[in-house]
Amino acid sequence: MTTLVHGGTVVSSTGAIRQDVLVDGEKIVALLAPGSKALGVDLAAAVDVVIDATGKYVIPGGIDAHTHMEMPFGGTTASDSFETGTRAAAWGGTTTIVDFVVQSHGQRVLDTVASWHAKAADNCAIDYGFHQIVGDVNDESLASMDALIDEGITSFKLFMAYPGVYLSSDGQILQAMQQAAGNGGLIMMHAENGSAIDVLVQQALARGETSPYYHGVTRPWQAEQEATHRAIMLADITGAPLYVVHVSAKQALARIAEARNTGQNVFAETCPQYLYLSLEENLGAPGFEGAKWVCSTPLRSRAEGHQEELWRYLRTGDVTSVSTDHCPFCMKDQKEMGIGNFSKIPNGIGSVEHRMDLLYQGVVDRRISLERWVEVCCTTPARMFGMYPQKGVIAPGSDADIVIYDPAGHTSIGLGKTHHMRMDYSAWEGWEIDGHVDTVMSRGKVIVDGNEYLGRAGDGRFVRRRLSQNLI
> Which x/- pattern over 14-53 shows residues binding ligand URP (rule: CB under 6 A)?
----------------------------------------
Helix, coil or strand: residue 349: strand
Per the omega criterion (within 30 degrees of 0), is the bond before 94 cis? no
Rounded least distance, CB 365 to Zn ion, Å: 26
Q: Are 238 and 181 in contact (CB under 8 A)?
A: yes
Nearest alpha carbon to residue 249 among 311, 201, 303, 299: 299
Looking at this protein, which amino acid is placed at residue 107?
Q
Q: Binder to Zn ion among 56, 119, 190, 354 (CB under 5 A)?
A: 190
Binding at 215: pick from ligand URP, Zn ion, none (beta carbon under 5-8 Å per type): none
**What span, in angstroms and rounded, lies between the C-alpha atoms of 103 and 353?**
26
Looking at this protein, which amino acid is placed at residue 116?
W
Rounded least distance, CB 365 to ligand URP, Å: 25
Residues in the chain: 472
Question: Nearer to Zn ion by C-beta: 3 or 273?
Answer: 273
Helix, coil or strand: residue 333: coil
Stretch that binds Zn ion, among 17-25, 82-90, 319-327, 417-425 (CB under 5 A): 319-327
Stretch that binds Zn ion, among 199-207, 320-328, 420-428, 455-463 (CB under 5 A): 320-328
Binding at 334: pick from ligand URP, Zn ion, none (beta carbon under 5-8 Å per type): none
**What span, in angstroms and rounded, lies between the C-alpha atoms of 59 and 370?**
10
Binding at 318: pick from Zn ion, ligand URP, none (beta carbon under 5-8 Å per type): none
Can residue 246 be called a binding residue for ligand URP (CB under 6 A)? yes
CB atoms within 10 A of CB 254: 15
Rounded least distance, CB 407 to ligand URP, Å: 31
Can residue 282 be called a binding residue for ligand URP (CB under 6 A)? no
Residue nearest to Zn ion (CB): 190
> Which x/- pattern over 190-209 shows residues binding ligand URP (rule: CB under 6 A)?
x-------------------
DSSP 377: I
Can residue 326 be called a binding residue for Zn ion (CB under 5 A)? no
Q: Binder to ligand URP among 295, 310, 356, 363 (CB under 6 A)?
A: 295
Rounded least distance, CB 426 to ligand URP, Å: 17
Question: Nearer to ligand URP by C-beta: 277 or 295?
Answer: 295
Question: Nearer to ligand URP by C-beta: 5 or 299?
Answer: 299
**What span, in angstroms and rounded, lies between the C-alpha atoms of 175 and 457?**
39
> Which x/- pattern over 339-378 shows residues binding ligand URP (rule: CB under 6 A)?
--------xx------------------------------
Please state, in angstroms and as integers, the Cα–Cα distance from residue 237 to each residue in 175, 247, 260, following that order: 11, 22, 15
DSSP track, 184-202: T-EEEEE---HHHHHHHHH
Question: Nearer to ligand URP by C-beta: 246 or 306?
Answer: 246
Cα diameter, the chain = 78
DSSP track, 1-48: -EEEEES-EEE-SS-EEE-EEEEETTEEEEEE-TT-EETTEEHHHHSS
DSSP 464: -
**What span, in angstroms and rounded, lies between the C-alpha atoms of 246 and 224?**
10
Please state, in angstroms and as integers, the Cα–Cα distance from residue 446 to each residue in 91, 93, 450, following that order: 11, 11, 10
Rounded least distance, CB 271 to Zn ion, Å: 9
**What span, in angstroms and rounded, lies between the C-alpha atoms of 368 and 386?**
25
Rounded least distance, CB 55 to ligand URP, Å: 38
Binding at 376: pick from Zn ion, ligand URP, none (beta carbon under 5-8 Å per type): none
Rounded least distance, CB 366 to Zn ion, Å: 30
Q: Binder to ligand URP among 68, 300, 335, 436 (CB under 6 A)?
A: 68
Helix, coil or strand: residue 290: helix
Using CB under 6 A, list all residues that contact ligand URP.
68, 190, 246, 295-296, 325, 327, 347-348
Instruction: Name the residues that contact Zn ion, by CB under 5 A.
Output: 190, 325
